[in-house]
Structure 1
Amino acid sequence: MTNVKSSLCICLPIGGAIIRSKRDHRSQELLPRKREPVYFDHRFRRRFSSENPEDGNIELEMFAAQAYEAARPKRADEAQMLVKEMCDMEVVPDIVTYNTLMDDFCKMGRIQDAQNLFPQMQACGQLPNVQTYNILMDGLCKNQELPMALKLFQEMVDNKLDPNMVSYNILIEGLFIGGKVEYARDIFSGLSSKGLLPNVRTYNIMISGFCSSGLTTEAEMLLQEMKDKGCSPDGCIYNTIIRGFLQQQ
């Protein structure tokens, strides 16, 4: 009777993700022809190795950990190369790895590099989430690319992802930056119909936008509305309104 050696399967659950290494010595006919991708969680920070006289040496390099550490300002190119290498080896970076790299590209003003990660991550089997869209929308708005940010927002909705309060804060701020005060006001007014409550950040954006547009009366009214709704203003909001009044003198 022919002995069939059992497969070696190592599963490491980390933060809801599973890192899996599999080597099977069964006949080729019993094995799937397509290699399954390996998923790594960005929080995994060590190197795993297993030695067995029969199975040989199995060593898993934690590319995700290297990419996560490299995805810092001035090292984003190194991180991008690591992520590409991971995909080439069918090792799928997790969503946090992509989001971290995209965020650093945006902070450096390299919006095109951040946008290029969208098709790359999907080709590797990782779909963008709400935070991914938020990161790129924020980068676009801060780099005076409001039309592209609005297009991305609509794409997020079309993909059945529900924008959160962070998404709307980014969008409202981008509209003020782009001089679209009426659109910003309309979106703010429609938040309750979407089941969302403005937070301190939302009011800060609105009040700052009104003050920058010379609408200090509206800013003052919004401050009172904020208090009436039980949202406590912070020092930043008061400073914004004071600056707004001073600029009008």
Structure 2
Amino acid sequence: MINNRRCGLLKLVSLRNASHSFSNAKPDSHLAAILTAKKKAKQVFDMLMDRGIKPDVVTYNALIYGYILTGKVDEAASLFGDMKKIGLAPCVWSYSIMINGYCKHKRLDEAVTLFKEMIQRNLVPSTVTYNSLIDGFCKSGRIPDVQNLLEDMYARGQPPNIITYNILLDGLCKGSHLDAAIELFQKIFGKGGWSLCHTPY
């Protein structure tokens, strides 16, 4: 039974790898690879449940990630809820996956609700978690919320990284906040002298 479970977990984790293995493929073939992997992962997941093998957080995360990759946010949210119902506590990565999915589909209120839930559970959001929210807020023009998140990042020992600043510069420029973008740009080079990625504005 242990070997079957390990095999199942490996197949589920391969779902995540599919998104990287086909990174150079055309969009259609890339999506087809992800969809095929997700379908197989769901079959393995159902098989584990039928055999009374309780999936762990890693297993759930892999499948939730697959749903998010293919735009099935509601299915991902349902699985996230099921995980909690059977007594599994979502980890930081679990929340980050869901928050990223909500933000990409402009469901910011739901993303914020999960973020607050993380805090209540004494989980420290990662930089990835913050970056997802900041990207969502920037694209929705909610700049004051972005400022609050930046302050929270420092307070929780998760300072912004170069990805954070690229997201901010992109959002500020596209939102016509050019003065704020220039000020931020100067601060970045004043603090660490980082070289920015080439981001189209």
Shorter-normalised TM range: 0.7 to 0.9
TM-score (norm. length: structure 2): 0.81
Cα deviation, 1:215-237, whole Å, max 9, x if unaligned, reads: 1221111111111111503232x
Letter of the 1:98 counterpart = Y
Q: After TM superposition, give the deviation of residue 123 of structure 1 in Å.
A: 4.3
Q: Is 1:74 aligned to residue 38 of structure 2?
A: no
Q: Across the two proteins, how many residue pairs are aligned to each other?
A: 184
Q: What's the counterpart of residue 166 of structure 2?
A: 204
Counterpart contact for 2:64–2:80, Cα < 8 Å: no
TM-score (norm. length: structure 1): 0.66
Q: Secondary structure at the match of 2:88?
A: coil
Q: What's the counterpart of residue 179 of structure 1?
A: 141
Q: After TM superposition, give the deviation of residue 203 of structure 1 in Å.
A: 0.5
Q: What's the counterpart of residue 115 of structure 2?
A: 153
Q: What's the counterpart of residue 8 of structure 2?
A: 63
Q: What's the counterpart of residue 229 of structure 1?
A: 191
Q: After TM superposition, give the deviation of residue 142 of structure 1 in Å.
A: 0.5
Counterpart contact for 2:12–2:62, Cα < 8 Å: no
Name which structure has the greater RCO, CA cutoff 8 Å, separation 6+: 2
Determine which structure has the larger strand proportion and give its number: 1
Percent identity, aligned pairs only, is 28
Q: What's the counterpart of residue 169 of structure 1?
A: 131
* Distance change >3 Å, CA 185–CA 70, structure 1 → 2: closer
1:91-102 alignment runs, 5 A limit: 91-102=53-64
Q: Secondary structure at the match of 1:161?
A: coil
CA separation in 2, counterparts of 1:160 and 1:176?
A: 26
Determine which structure has the larger helix proportion and give its number: 2
CA separation in 1, counterparts of 2:133 and 2:39?
A: 28
CA separation in 2, counterparts of 1:172 and 1:61?
A: 37
CA separation in 1, counterparts of 2:5 and 2:92?
A: 30
CA separation in 2, counterparts of 1:172 and 1:127?
A: 25
CA separation in 2, counterparts of 1:230 and 1:60?
A: 47
CA separation in 2, counterparts of 1:163 and 1:195?
A: 10
Q: After TM superposition, give the deviation of residue 212 of structure 1 in Å.
A: 1.0
Structure with bigger gyration radius = 1
Unaligned runs of 5+ in 2: 19-33
The counterpart of 1:112, out of the listed 74, 79, 88, is 74
* Distance change >3 Å, CA 119–CA 189, structure 1 → 2: closer
Q: After TM superposition, give the deviation of residue 150 of structure 1 in Å.
A: 0.6
Letter of the 1:136 counterpart = M
CA separation in 1, counterparts of 2:15 and 2:155?
A: 42
Q: After TM superposition, give the deviation of residue 61 of structure 1 in Å.
A: 7.4
* Distance change >3 Å, CA 68–CA 198, structure 1 → 2: closer
* Distance change >3 Å, CA 123–CA 78, structure 1 → 2: farther
Q: After TM superposition, give the deviation of residue 196 of structure 1 in Å.
A: 2.3
Unaligned runs of 5+ in 1: 1-20, 22-37, 39-47, 49-58, 244-249
Letter of the 1:67 counterpart = L
Q: What's the counterpart of residue 102 of structure 2?
A: 140
CA separation in 2, counterparts of 1:194 and 1:202?
A: 15
